[in-house]
C-alpha cells in the first residue's frame, strides 16, 4: 500500500523564498514568486523512490482584513478559490487574520507592514496532531521558519510517521532549509526547473 503524503505549506514563507531565490524584489511585480500549491505538492510526493500517494495539501497563510485592506482581501479570496477549485478534496486553506500596526494604513510608518499571527501555531499543531491521529504516513513541511522545528522534532521521533522538509534551490546551490540537531531529515530541494513548471503568474488583484 502506498504511503499517504500530506504536504504542509507555510505559504507566505515559501512565496518570499521563491522571490528571494528566483526573482528581483525591487524590479519584479508582486505575483512573481506565486506558485500552484497542488502542483508543488504533487512534485514533492513524487520526488521519492518509494510508493507514495498525495492525500492532503494544506496551505497556511495570513488573511488580509476586509476593512483594513479591501483590495488585498478580495485578491486573497480569489486566489484561495483558485486553489480549491484545483482539487477541493485534497486542498485545504487555513487562514488567520493579519495583525496591523496601529493607525495602518493611513498613519503607517515607513517600512511597516501587516504581520501574520497564529499561522505558525496552526501549522505546528496540525503537523503534530494529524500524526497522532494517523492522518498521514509522510509529512512534508515546506518553510524556513525555525519556530516550526518543535513539530518536526516531535514527528521525527515517532516510529509511525516520517517527517521531511522542502526548500528552494537555485543554480545547483542549496539554500536555507529546516533541520533538527542530531537528526538527518530528508530535504526535497526544489530547483528553478520545477519552479518554472509550477509558478502562477496570475494577478489576483484584477477581477
Other beta carbons less than 10 A from residue 202's beta carbon: 14
Task: Profile the chain (207 residues) by mean pLDDT over runs of 10 residues.
Answer: 97 94 86 96 96 98 92 95 96 95 75 86 97 98 96 94 95 80 91 96 89
Residue pLDDT, tens place only, 86-127: 999 999 999 999 998 887 777 777 767 888 999 999 999 999
What pairs with residue 163 in β-bridges?
Answer: 139
Domain ranges of the chain: 3-94+120-198
The three three-digit cell numbers of residue 77, written as one number: 479570496
Q: What is the pLDDT of residue 193?
A: 94
The contacts of residue 65 (CB under 8 Å, 6+ apart) are 73, 97, 98, 100
What pairs with residue 63 in β-bridges?
Answer: 97
pTM: 0.94
Q: Write down the CATH number for the domain with range 3-94+120-198.
A: 3.40.50.1010
d(CA 117, CA 38): 24
Rounded to 10°, the helix 37-46/70-86 angle is: 40
Whether 62 contacts 116, CB under 8 Å: yes
d(CA 151, CA 123): 9
Q: What is the pLDDT of residue 96?
A: 96
Q: What is the pLDDT of residue 173?
A: 65
Whether 62 contacts 98, CB under 8 Å: yes
d(CA 174, CA 75): 32
Whether 36 contacts 44, CB under 8 Å: no
CA angle 154, 173, 12 (to 5 degrees): 55
d(CA 67, CA 90): 31
Amino acid at each position: 500500500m502506498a504511503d499517504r503524503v500530506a504536504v504542509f505549506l507555510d505559504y507566505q514563507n515559501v512565496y518570499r523564498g521563491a522571490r528571494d531565490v528566483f526573482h528581483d524584489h525591487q524590479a519584479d511585480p508582486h505575483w512573481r514568486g506565486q506558485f500552484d500549491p497542488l502542483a508543488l505538492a504533487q512534485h514533492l510526493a513524487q520526488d521519492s523512490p518509494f510508493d507514495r500517494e498525495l492525500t492532503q495539501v494544506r496551505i497556511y497563510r495570513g488573511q488580509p482584513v476586509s476593512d483594513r485592506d479591501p483590495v488585498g482581501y478580495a485578491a486573497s479570496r480569489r486566489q484561495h478559490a483558485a486553489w480549491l477549485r484545483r482539487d477541493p478534496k485534497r486542498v485545504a486553506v487555513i487562514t488567520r487574520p493579519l495583525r496591523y500596526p496601529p493607525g495602518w494604513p493611513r498613519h503607517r510608518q515607513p517600512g511597516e507592514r501587516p504581520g501574520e499571527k497564529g499561522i505558525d501555531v496552526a501549522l505546528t499543531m496540525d503537523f503534530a496532531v494529524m500524526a497522532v491521529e494517523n492522518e498521514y504516513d509522510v509529512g512534508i513541511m515546506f518553510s524556513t521558519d525555525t519556530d516550526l522545528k518543535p513539530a518536526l522534532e516531535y514527528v521525527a521521533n515517532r516510529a509511525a510517521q516520517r517527517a521531511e522538509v522542502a526548500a528552494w534551490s537555485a543554480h545547483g546551490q542549496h539554500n536555507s532549509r529546516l533541520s533538527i540537531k542530531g537528526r538527518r531529515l530528508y530535504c526535497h530541494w526544489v530547483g528553478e526547473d520545477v519552479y518554472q513548471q509550477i509558478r502562477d503568474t496570475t494577478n489576483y488583484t484584477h477581477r
